[in-house]
Copies of this chain bind each other. A is one copy, B any other.
Amino acid sequence: MESRNNIYALVVAGGSGTRMGSKIPKQFLSLNGREMIEWSVHKFDSNSRVDRVIVLVPEQWIAHTDSLFYDRSEVLVTAGGETRNDTVINGLKLIDERYGIDDDTVVLVHDAARPLVTADLIDRTIDSMKENDAATVAMASTDSIAISENGKTIDSCPDRDTIFMIQTPQAFKAKLFRKLYRSKSQESRAKLTESTRLFAENGYKVGIIEGESRNMKVTHPGDIQILEMIYRNSGGKRK
């Protein structure tokens, strides 16, 4: 991490909306002896093209997260925001304050709950920024989908082979994201459940990078066991 590539990774681990309560947020649960967030951060931290990794966690988890990365000067920890993109904005703010953001600054955004992301997938995401202003990893859907405004009856059904399930990493130009996001109303911001839609809606080309099953997001109780199986069967850390 000596040279400056102007590429930063945001590892997103739940905005402040994540309630701690009695339960530990999933990104802090153990997977093969390390907290899930450690695996996710490590994947970006060990990529020589990534300058810094910003880890965004709920306010009350900052101290704990700091302790996980206490000896890694290239890993910064800060608080997430209310929504996914508010969290991204908080990450950009920190980058801007510390290192400055210019027209070419690229950020990668990754869900901490996708700990089995591969080095290859991160490389392909970075590479795709040569041709695009934004890009996202996504998987072709194996399920049929219906669109319904009222949730009661079907409005339309897109062809299954045109449907892509959005994963992470995503990559985009930081300055452009901030400009586009600022121009949006509160209402249209609320509809952005990820970051690349903002670019697509404004006419920018958003590249699709073919995802991998092992990059699945931990959502359901059984998912951690599945990831542990995948991890063990695939050569583990070397990927």
Residues of A within 8 A of B (CB): 132, 136, 138, 140-149, 151-166, 191, 193-194, 196-197, 200-201, 205-208, 213, 217, 219-220, 222, 225-226, 229
- For the complex, what is the distance from the CA of A207 to the CA of B148, rounded to whole Å? 10
**A146–B200 CB distance below 8 A:** yes
**A226–B222 CB distance below 8 A:** yes
**B229–A220 CB distance below 8 A:** no
**B194–A142 CB distance below 8 A:** no
- For the complex, what is the distance from the CA of A144 to the CA of B144, rounded to whole Å? 14
**A206–B147 CB distance below 8 A:** no
CB distance from A169 to the nearest CB of B (A): 14
Partner of A145, one of B132, B161, B166, B207: B166
With A156-B200, A157-B197 given, name 9 new contacts (CB 8 A): A132-B153, A138-B146, A143-B166, A143-B217, A144-B166, A146-B206, A149-B162, A220-B226, A222-B226
Partner of A154, one of B144, B165, B200: B200
**B152–A194 CB distance below 8 A:** no
Copies in the complex: 2
**B147–A165 CB distance below 8 A:** no
**B193–A152 CB distance below 8 A:** no
Residue of B nearest to A209 (CB): B152
**B213–A154 CB distance below 8 A:** no
**B145–A164 CB distance below 8 A:** yes
CB distance from A95 to the nearest CB of B (A): 24
- For the complex, what is the distance from the CA of A89 to the CA of B151, rounded to whole Å? 29
**A147–B166 CB distance below 8 A:** no
